Chains A and B, each alone.
Chain A
Amino acid sequence: MTTITDYPALRRPDAFTQRSLGWVPWAPPVPEAELTAAQRDSLVEPDRATNPYFRLLARDPEALRARTLTDLDIFHNDDGGTPRWERELAAAAASRVNGCVFCASVHARAASRLSGRGDDVQRLLDEGVGARVDERWDAIADAAAALTATPAAFGAEHVERLRAAGLDDVGLLDQISGAAFFNWANRLMLSLGEPEVV
């Protein structure tokens, strides 16, 4: 039977953080030396072969490959739409609501790096998505949180508020896609392993 691993002595984070965290898998990743050509191809970026999260997801290579390419276009396509940091803010907000400390650390850090607003990002981590910053920030955080609820609480009022804050149609798609995508990523990171202080 498949061995599921516990880490009783793991150094766990105490709270949400922008520090760089590690992640350890509960289910067994494919050993790096045993990756098939299809599994290597599914990593998209070759250096991900050292990462246990991606080697675990490589057990379903077609799903991993499509997931990664979806992710990259939502967060890195800078042809119009919202600035990348605002998409990272949506990712961090969704992760904060779901409780994914690992995802929140990665995307809060990215939002800080791209915006230069590390203190505001830290407030989102410390106080939650209800932390009030400015109208456009608040509209983005509230929309991501509403879309993260089950059933989704995202409605016309969120779209109208984002438009009033200056978002255009592609920007709205970016924010909706960014928050929705982290409802995918959070569930994988939360259920297949856990974060570690490194």
Chain B
Amino acid sequence: MSHDIIDHLAEITAGSRLDTIRRARPDARENAQQSFLALLEPADPGELPLGDRYAVAAYVALLHDAQGAPTRSSAFYLELLDDAAAPGVTASVRRAADAGRASGPYGGYREPALQREAVAGPVARVDRSVLGERLAAALEHAHLLVLHPRDARPEALRALTAAGWGPDALVSLSQLVAFLSFQLRLVHGLRVLAATAADTTADATTASATELEEARA
């Protein structure tokens, strides 16, 4: 996939105001795309098959949606999943996300002075019948990371290893969920930025920068 995925999800077109803004941080732009490719379209998926990556991604994107307000991002990851998945998987992922949706971040604290800030919230239990033990355990871990990451303990990793997750795949799964938590927020922020009035001083800034470059040349 050569198209920039964040531009696609945020509906940023070449030469637009938002395109110009993003290109002020070219390495961040390029490596957000490389992160997507490494985690969602890897040349060697290792112990984490593409279909399972799409299932986790669709679940994570759906958990980020406000109730009753599906986003372009969740629709995109659902479509990736639906193209790759066995019958029933997409519906099961949707059901799991609907059952798990909550407002985050919540969770407890190990640190004694912070325990008064603890906020209670749900712990996911994902149905095994269609998704199987390994993928269901991954979605439960994704729920923890998306909504109440400060509740993470070694036991959460043991639940994954007991379900057959090796150390390399466990790291890739963690990166996938954590990366999407970044990507979906960046897309959200860029969409908000695109919908607000342009910076009225931007043209003057661009002009003076161009003049400066010409002066240096």
Contacts and interface: CB of A to CB of B under 8 A. Distances in A.
Interface stretch (B31-39, B75-83, B85-93, B125-133): B31-39
Interface in B1-33: 17, 21-22, 24-28, 30-32
B42 interface: yes
A77 B30 CA distance: 14
A185 B35 CA distance: 13
Interface in A5-44: 5-6, 12-16, 26-28
B150 A190 contact: yes
Contact of B178 (A148, A151, A184): A184
Contact of A72 (B27, B147, B167, B202): B27
B21 A13 contact: no
Contacts, number: 230
A31 to B, nearest CB: 12
Q: Is the interface of B mostly helix, strand, loop or mixed?
A: helix
Interface of A: 1-2, 4-6, 12-16, 26-28, 56-57, 59-60, 62-67, 69-70, 72-74, 77, 79-81, 97-101, 128, 147-152, 154-156, 158-160, 163, 168-170, 172-174, 176-177, 179-181, 183-188, 190-192, 194
A180 B21 contact: no
A101 B192 contact: no
Nearest to B119: A99
Contacts of A172: 21, 193, 199
Given A59-B168, A177-B189, 8 more contacts: A12-B111, A69-B27, A81-B25, A97-B105, A149-B104, A151-B69, A169-B193, A192-B157
Interface of B: 17, 21-22, 24-28, 30-32, 34-35, 37-39, 42, 63-66, 69, 102-105, 107, 109-114, 117, 141, 144-147, 149-150, 152, 154, 156-158, 161-162, 165-168, 170-172, 174-175, 177-179, 181-186, 188-190, 192-193, 195-196, 198-199, 201-202, 205
Nearest to B199: A169
Contacts of A57: 171, 175
Contacts of A67: 31, 35, 175, 179
Given A2-B167, A184-B179, A194-B110, A63 B28 contact: no
11 contacts: A4-B154, A14-B112, A63-B171, A63-B175, A63-B179, A66-B37, A69-B34, A73-B27, A80-B205, A101-B114, A180-B186
A16 B150 CA distance: 13
Contacts of A192: 157, 171, 174
Interface centre among B171, B183, B196, B205 (most CB of A within 10 A): B171
A147 B42 CA distance: 28
A101 B111 contact: yes
A60 B117 CA distance: 34
Contact of A73 (B26, B111, B156, B174): B26
A110 B130 CA distance: 47
A63 B161 contact: no
